[in-house]
Amino acid sequence: MDFTFSEDQLLFQSSVREFLVGEVTPQRIRASWERDDGRDPDLWQQLTELGLVGLTVPEAFGGLAMNELDFVLLAQECGYVALSEPLVHTALVAVPMLRELGGELAATWLPRIAAGESKVLVGLQQNLVVEDAHVADLLLLQQGDALYALTQDDIELRFNESVDPSRRLYAVTIRPGAEPIARGERAAQLAAAALDRGALGCAAQALGLAQRMVDLAVSYSKDRQQFGKPIGTFQAVKHLMANVAVRLEYARAPVHRAAYSIARGDGVAPRAVSQAKLLACEAANLAAKHSIQVHGAMGYTWEVDLHIFMKKAWALANTWGDAGFHKARVADYIFSEGAQLGAGATFAGASA
């Protein structure tokens, strides 16, 4: 089995990286904080024109019909620039759920997503609050054993503060009269699949965030001098960044493995996703900790762009399942009867 990314996938990643780094600057992110909705409609239009918003939408509805494995590298780049717009949420969570629901709902909303005309988001009970609920034209919301498809007229929103100023979080209350689109087993299956895809998106973004924080710390260590030398020449500083680089490198393969599992519908997907999110978020949290140390007292000030990426890493670590939730899923498998463990079983059951 060949698990390397194709040349086309890598070229696409490179093109998206070039665009995002050029357009999604720290200055533009800070400017979005001053907007009432916290979002940049011009940037969303740019993402739509590049085909990124409709990347996972079927061709019949105006999209590119790509899957999770195609998108995971792009999600990393979204993390690298701390993208505030709900691109990862749309491509990895909302569109797949609409595809699975099918029928009139999918036929109505998928073309609108691909055209950039509407935003569709998903809210699960696991998250308690819903990010970007205020800009959702359609909200697929889990409540109890039911799943609802709601417009703004069907809901009431209460704003919740976040450690990350780029996030807009809302507690959602359904107004009387709304009817569920799925109940029981069907609703639970849809919610479980959405949770795995959301966690995969967090893991991929965490890789990008960790890399960006390392890059910022390395750049600062070359400019900041102490005792007449750049602090980057000191062995203690090198060790800090080297420790992050090791964690980051070891987290990449599990994240890509998780994307492969979801794209292929492997039964190991839930635990592969949990492993990936744990490792990627641990790497991002370590990157945040050590990057603050490299920056010294400056690292605690909002003037330093490091905060943009650090706060997002902290927020993503606790959404789409926190560390406790994902550790429990991995532990359930490890201690189950007949569990296949070790490097030789990593890709057991995977299809070529």
User: For 186-345, which CATH superfamily applies?
Assistant: Butyryl-CoA Dehydrogenase, subunit A, domain 3 (1.20.140.10)
Tell me the two tokens of residue 66: 């790509």
| Residue type at 267 in one-letter notation | G
| Residue type at 105 in one-letter notation | L
In angstroms, the CA 115 to CA 330 distance is 39
In angstroms, the CA 161 to CA 129 distance is 10
pLDDT value of position 223: 57
Query: Domain residue spans in the chain?
Result: 186-345
In angstroms, the CA 234 to CA 300 distance is 21
How confident is the model over 144-166, as pLDDT tens digits? 999 999 999 999 999 999 999 99
CB within 8 Å of 340: residues ≥ 6 apart: 348
90 against 2, higher pLDDT: 90
The structure tokens 């600057």 sit at 25
Percent of the chain with pLDDT over 70: 91
Q: Within a 10 A sphere around the Cβ of 45, how many other Cβ atoms?
A: 12
How confident is the model over 206-246, as pLDDT tens digits? 999 999 999 998 887 765 545 556 555 556 566 688 888 99
- What integer is the mean pLDDT of 118-129? 95
In angstroms, the CA 266 to CA 348 distance is 10
- What integer is the mean pLDDT of 278-289? 96
pLDDT of 305 strictly over 90: yes
pLDDT value of position 352: 39
Whether the Cβ atoms of residue 238 and residue 218 lie closer than 8 Å to each other: no
Tell me the two tokens of residue 269: 């997907």
CB within 8 Å of 9: residues ≥ 6 apart: 70, 73
In angstroms, the CA 180 to CA 177 distance is 10
- DSSP letters for 133-191: GGG-SEEEEEETTEEEEE-GGGEEEEEE--SSTT--EEEEEEPTT---SEEHHHHHHHH
pLDDT value of position 347: 58
pTM, 2 dp: 0.92
